A and B are shown apart, each in its own frame.
Chain A
Amino acid sequence: MRRWTGIVAASCAALAVVVGLAACGGDDGESGTTGGGDVSELTVYSGRSEDLVAPLFERFTDETGIELSVRYGDTAEMAATVVEEGDRSPADVFFGQDGGALGSLEAEGLLAPLPEDTLSPVPAAFRSPDGRWVGTSGRVRVLGYDTRVLDEADLPASVFDLTDERWSGRVGWAPTNASFIAFVTAMRAEVGDEVTETWLRDMQANGAVAFERNGVLRDAIANGEVEVGLLNHYYIAQARAELADPDSYPVGTHYFPGGDVGSLINVAGAGVITATDKQEAAEQLIAYLLSPESQEFFVEETKEYPVVEGIDGPAGLPPLSSIEQPDINLNELSDLRGTLALIEQAGIL
Chain B
Amino acid sequence: MSTAAPTTPARDARASRWRRGHSGEFTPLAVLAALIGAAVALPAVYLFIVVGGDWDVAVDAVWRERTLWLLVRSLGLAGAVAVGATTLAVPLAWLTVRSDLPGRRVWAVLVLLPFVVPSYIGAYLLVSALGPRGVIVREVLAPLGIDSIPSIYGFWGAAAVLTAFTYPLVLLPVRAALRRMDPSLEEAARGMGAGQLRVARTVVLPQLVPAIGAGALLAVLYAMSDFGAVSILRYDSFTRVIYQNYRLSFERAGAAALGVVLILVMVILIVIEGRMRRRAGYHRNAPGVAKPAAPVPLGAWRYPAFAFCAAVVGLTLVLPLGVLVYWASRTAGTTVDWGEFGQAALNSIVTAALAAGIALVAAVPIARLGARYPGRASRGIEAAHHAGYALPHLVVALALVFLGIRLVPWAYQSLGMAVFALVVIYVPLAIGALRASMLQVSPSLEDAARGMGRGSLGVLVTITAPLVRPGVFAAATLVYIGAIKELPAMLLLAPTGYDTLATMIWGETSRSVFEAAALPSLVLLAVSAPVLALLVGRER
Q: Which residues of A contact B (CB under 8 A)?
A: 2-7, 10-11, 14, 17-27, 43, 49-52, 69-74, 76-77, 79-81, 83-86, 88-90, 100-101, 104, 176, 178, 181, 210, 212-216, 218-220, 223-225, 235, 336-337, 340, 344, 349
Q: In the complex, A150 Cα to B154 Cα: how many Å?
A: 29
Q: How far is the CB of A93 from chain B (nearest CB, A)?
A: 13
Contact of A51 with B416 at beta-carbon distance under 8 Å, contacts A3-B25, A84-B398, A340-B248 already known: no
A69 touches B496 (CB 8 A): yes
Q: How many B residues touch the partner, as a band?
A: 35 or more
Give the most central of A2, A88, A220: most B CB within 10 Å. A2
Q: Are A83 and B133 in contact (CB under 8 A)?
A: no
Select one of B240, B358, B457, B510 contacting A349, CB under 8 A. Answer: B240
Contact A212 B512 (CB under 8 A): no
Q: Are A81 and B492 closer than 8 Å at their CB atoms?
A: yes
Docked-complex contact A181 and B66, CB < 8 angstroms: no
CB nearest neighbor in A for B134 = A223
From known contacts A176-B244, A213-B512, A225-B133, infer whether A22 and B456 are also in contact, taking CB-CB under 8 Å.
Answer: no
Identify 6 residue pairs between A and B in the complex whose beta-carbon atoms are under 8 Å apart, listed by A's number.
Answer: A6-B456, A24-B415, A76-B247, A88-B405, A88-B409, A349-B236
Interface flags for B470-504 (1: CB within 8 Å of A; 0: not) read: 00000000000000000010011011111000000
When distances are taken between beta carbons in the complex, the residues of chain B under 8 Å from A214 are: 512
Which one, B83-91, B188-196, B249-257, is touching chain A? Answer: B249-257
A95 CB to nearest B CB, Å: 14
Tell me whether A337 and B416 are in contact in the complex, defined as CB-CB below 8 angstroms, given that A3-B457, A77-B491, A216-B512 are known contacts: no
For window 1-48 of B, CB contacts with A under 8 Å fall at 24-25, 28, 32
Report which B residues bind A (CB closer than 8 A). 24-25, 28, 32, 66, 132-133, 231-232, 234, 236, 240, 244, 246-252, 354, 358, 361-362, 394, 398, 401-402, 405-406, 408-417, 419-420, 455-458, 488, 491-492, 494-498, 507, 510-512
| Contact yes or no, B32 A26, CB < 8 A | no
Given the known inter-chain contacts A7-B28, A76-B248, A337-B249, please indicate yes or no for A22 contacting B408, CB distance below 8 A: yes
Given A3-B455, A71-B496, A77-B492, A235-B512 contact (CB < 8 Å): yes
The docked-state distance in angstroms from the alpha carbon of A79 to that of B250 is: 9
A-B contact count (CB 8 A): 166
Return chain A residues, CB-CB under 8 Å to B231: 176, 212
Residue in B232, B251, B512 whose CB lies within 8 Å of A337? B251
Which one, A80, A224, A349, contacts B246 given CB within 8 A?
A80
Q: Are B24 and A21 in contact (CB under 8 A)?
A: no
Contacts of A50 in B (CB 8 A): 507
What is the CB-to-nearest-CB distance from B474 to chain A, in angstroms, rounded to a whole number?
21
Given contacts A86-B405, A176-B244, A178-B248, 5 further A-B contacts (CB under 8 A): A50-B507, A70-B496, A71-B497, A88-B405, A181-B248
A175 → chain B closest CB, angstroms: 10
Residues of B within 8 A of A51 (CB): 507, 511
Residues of B contacting A: mostly:
helix
A81 touches B401 (CB 8 A): yes
Q: Tell me which residues across on chain A come within 8 A of B244, comparing CB atoms.
A: 176, 340, 349
Q: Complex Cα distance A100/B246, Å?
A: 12
Closest 8 CB pairs of A and B: A215-B512, A21-B416, A6-B457, A25-B495, A22-B416, A26-B414, A22-B411, A76-B247
**Least CB distance, A102 to chain B, in whole angstroms:** 11
**Cα separation A86 to B401 with both chains bound (whole Å):** 10
A residues in contact with B401, CB < 8 Å: 81, 84-85
Chain A residue with the shortest CB-CB distance to B252: A83
Distance, CA A73 to CA B66, complexed state (A): 29
Report the separation of the CA atoms of residues A22 and B494 in the bound assembly, to the nearest whole angstrom.
10
Point out the residues of chain B lying under 8 angstroms from A84, CB to CB. Answer: 252, 398, 401-402, 405
B246 touches A3 (CB 8 A): no
Q: Using CB atoms, name the residue of chain A closest to B35.
A: A11
- Taking CB atoms, residues of chain A closer than 8 Å to B497 are 69-71
Interface pair B457/A336, CB less than 8 Å apart: no
Q: Is A80 within 8 A of B250, CB to CB?
A: yes
In the bound complex, CA of A220 to CA of B133 (Å): 9
Q: How far is the CA of A235 from the CA of B511 in the complex (A)?
A: 9
In contact, A17 and B132 (Cβ under 8 angstroms): no
| Cα of A1 to Cα of B240 in the assembled complex, Å | 51
B488 engages A77 (CB within 8 Å): yes
Closest to B415 in A: A24
Partner of A18, one of B240, B420, B496, B507: B420
Interchain CB contact under 8 A, A25 and B507? no
In chain A, what residue has the closest Cβ to B458? A6
Write the nearest CB–CB distance from B104 to chain A, whole angstroms. 38
| Residue ID in chain B nearest A85 by CB atoms | B405
* B413 x A26 contact (CB < 8 A): yes
Chain A residues within 8 Å of B236, by CB: 349
CA distance A10 to B358 in the complex (A): 12
The complex places the Cα of A80 from the Cα of B255 at a distance, in Å, of: 11
Please tell me if the beta carbons of A219 and B361 are within 8 angstroms of each other in the complex.
Answer: no
Q: Select B414's contact among A21, A104, A223, A337, beta carbons within 8 Å.
A: A21
Contact check, B492 vs A336: say whether CB atoms are below 8 A apart. no
